[in-house]
Amino acid sequence: MFDVSANGAVIPALGFGTFRMPEADVLRIVPKAIQTGFRHIDTAQIYDNEAAVGQAILDSGVPRKDIFLTTKVWVSNYKHDAFIKSVDESLEKLKTDDVDLLLLHWPNKDVSLADQIGALNEVRQAGKVRHIGVSNFNIALMDEAVALSDAPLVTNQVEYHPFIDQTKVMDGARKHGMALTAYYAMADGKVLKNEQLGEIAKSHDRSVAQVVLRWLLQQNDVIALSKTATESRVAENFDIFDFELSGEEMQAIHGLADKNGRIVSPDGLAPDWD
């Protein structure tokens, strides 16, 4: 395991995500992930599993201080009072005094970005969160958010896998010293069916999932979120630090990007993508 440094935050490069994971699965699999070696756990208010994540961290036997914990404020909570209340509720559910990283989950035009960023800074100043950032922001929104924030933003969490080119957004984040956090790395299972990825995986005696996670982590300032509810795959997804993809293999995987490769773009939430 290695870390990514971004604007004062030191973030484990490989995280364990809990999107669409029921509480029972969280309680079963997250302690296993932590015991396997994962030290970065990602959740969100809208996932409705923060309480299970908090309990799973306790059940893991690994001290809370050794876990980098991320959660996200949902768009309906962006007005000031609701924002502060929702963060307090998240902390209670997560059974912790603070979280390591708090993100705005999606853009929301109904509340000014200045107010959203102001609330992020407020909870940080109150000691409820150590670092702040955004998710699903395009370059223009990132630039605006950085300009509005007293504290540095440390990451933009976005969909990123071999079938989508995020070079522009990545460069936009790096300009501000921010990392890019990749979710949906497996492209909803699509990567597992790709022949070229299969051939690269076979040449390394690895799984396609391992190759894709390795591809992400071999890019500068990129954090990858893995996710599985299958115990055997927890260890598999973590076992990606003892091999390396060649420059040619990295480029071949980049070459799989397609202008129609985006999967996550919900109406009413998605910005004008770069």
pLDDT in tens, 70-112: 999 999 999 999 999 999 999 999 999 999 999 999 999 999 9
Name the residue among 222, 233, 242, 244 with its Cα closest to residue 36: 233
Domain span at residue 98? 3-254
Please measure the distance between the N-terminal and C-terminal CA atoms of the chain and give it in whole angstroms: 31
Q: Is residue 21 part of a domain?
A: yes
Residue 272 domain-assigned? no
Binding residues: 105
| Inside any domain, residue 68 | yes
- pLDDT reading at 1 higher than 90: no
Confidence of residue 158 (pLDDT cuts 50, 70, 90): very high
Is residue 117 situated within a structural domain? yes
Does residue 139 lie within any of the structural domains?
Answer: yes
Its pTM stands at: 0.97
Residue 268 lies in a domain: no
Q: What is the CATH number of the domain that holds 197?
A: 3.20.20.100
| Residue 78 among the catalytic residues | no
Alpha carbons 173 and 244: distance in angstroms, whole number:
25
Distance CA 218, CA 212 (A): 10
Looking at 47, 78, 160, 183, which residue is catalytic? 47
- Looking at the domain assignment, is residue 210 inside a domain? yes
Measured CA distances, 173 to 29, 100, 162, 244, 245 (Å): 32, 19, 19, 25, 24
Q: Does residue 148 contact residue 176 with C-beta atoms inside 8 Å?
A: no
Structure tokens at 127: 């000691």
Which residues are annotated binding-site positions for substrate? Answer: 105
Question: Per the domain annotation, does 264 fall within a domain?
Answer: no
Q: Of 182, 164, 159, 157, which Cα lies nearest the Cα of 260? A: 164
Q: Residues 241-261: what's their mean pLDDT? A: 97
Q: How many domains does the chain have?
A: 1
